[in-house]
Amino acid sequence: MNTPFDPSKFTAPKAKPLPVIFLLDVSGSMGGEKIHNLNDAVRDMLNVFRDNETSETEIWVSIITFGAQVTLHQPLASANDIRWQALAAGGTTPLGVALEMAKAMIEDKDVVPSRAYRPTVVLVSDGQPDNGWEDALQAFVSEGRSSKCDRMAMAIGADANEAVLRTFIEGTQNALFYAENARQLKEFFKYVTMSVTLRTRSQTPNSIPPASAIDVQPATIGARQGSPTSAAQVAEEDGGYW
């Protein structure tokens, strides 16, 4: 007896998402050239992400901004589906609420499904966060799914709170990056872009590529302070698990 033909058994496998979540400081001090350059860097990155998706891996992007208020500027979606809306600067630096929003997103398996690859979370700030961020930061880096994410951070200018940003990247292989001009900011976003796109072409997308595998080497806090440390010289660890 012939088995009935069932076309549902012949569907192509669905690409697995690789989430990239940005927490971007858009406080008043980010106005002028800073916000202009940040917009350019994010727009360029999205264009590259669209060109690097594969049949196996789909890059999903979300952007949370914190300034006059904390806003889900871009809900988590495929880079192919995003129509970029420029950022505007204003207000203070409510980092704690932004971290709480990002953590809630990552912990929600209806938003970031279990089948997703290990997310990359990127924090960019140029100032001192408002009060009340300590518990949110500690929970983000030490509890639940958010603690297993790859985390990168960049300080814009000398006024950025380095201690907060260093705590954010604890337990990762990443250096604390630094930008004092448009070129350095764009190099950082190119580094993030290349790290993510290398994962889409890897046999093990949950593993984070070492800094030495990435052509762009952005400026780091260590270099600004007179240390020869570069991203490639940071101790390389196993990519871990998601």
pLDDT band at 230 (very low <50, low <70, confident <90, very high): very low
Do 73 and 63 contact (CB within 8 A), yes or no?
yes
CA-to-CA dists, residue 114 to 57, 75, 235, angstroms: 14, 18, 29
Domain annotation covers residue 4: no
Domain assignment of residue 150, yes or no: yes
Confidence of residue 234 (pLDDT cuts 50, 70, 90): very low
Tokens of 154: 């960049």
Instruction: State the total domains in the chain.
Output: 1
The 10s digit of each residue's pLDDT in 63-121 is 999 999 999 999 999 999 999 999 999 999 999 999 999 999 999 999 999 999 999 99
Q: What is the pLDDT of residues 211-228, one digit of tens each?
A: 999 999 999 987 655 544
pLDDT at 37 over 90: yes
pLDDT, tens digit (0-9, with 9 covering 90-100), for 163-208: 999 999 999 999 999 999 999 999 999 999 999 999 998 999 999 9
For a pLDDT cut of 70, what percent of the chain falls above it?
89
In a domain, 197, yes or no: yes
Tell me whether residue 100 is in a domain.
Answer: yes
Q: How confident is the model over 129-159, as pLDDT tens digits?
A: 998 899 999 999 999 999 999 999 999 998 9
Average pLDDT for residues 13-37, to the nearest whole number?
A: 94
In the prediction, which pLDDT does 224 show?
57
CA distance 109 to 106: 7
At 96, which CATH number?
A: 3.40.50.410
The answer to whether residue 11 is domain-embedded is no
Give residue 149's domain range.
Answer: 17-233
- Would residue 115 count as lying in a domain? yes
Angle between helix axes 95-107 and 134-142 (nearest 10 degrees) is 30
pTM attached to this predicted model: 0.88
Q: Is residue 6 part of a domain?
A: no
Residue 2 lies in a domain: no
One DSSP character per residue, the chain reads: -PPPP-GGGGPPPPPEEEEEEEEEE-SGGGTTHHHHHHHHHHHHHHHHHHHT--SSEEEEEEEEEESSSEEEEEEEEEGGG---------S---HHHHHHHHHHHHH-TTTS-TTSPPPEEEEEESSPPPSS-HHHHHHHHHSTGGGGSEEEEEEESTTS-HHHHHHHTTTSS--EEEESSHHHHHHHHHHHHHHHHHHHTSS-TTSPPPGGG-S----BHHHHTT----GGGSPP------
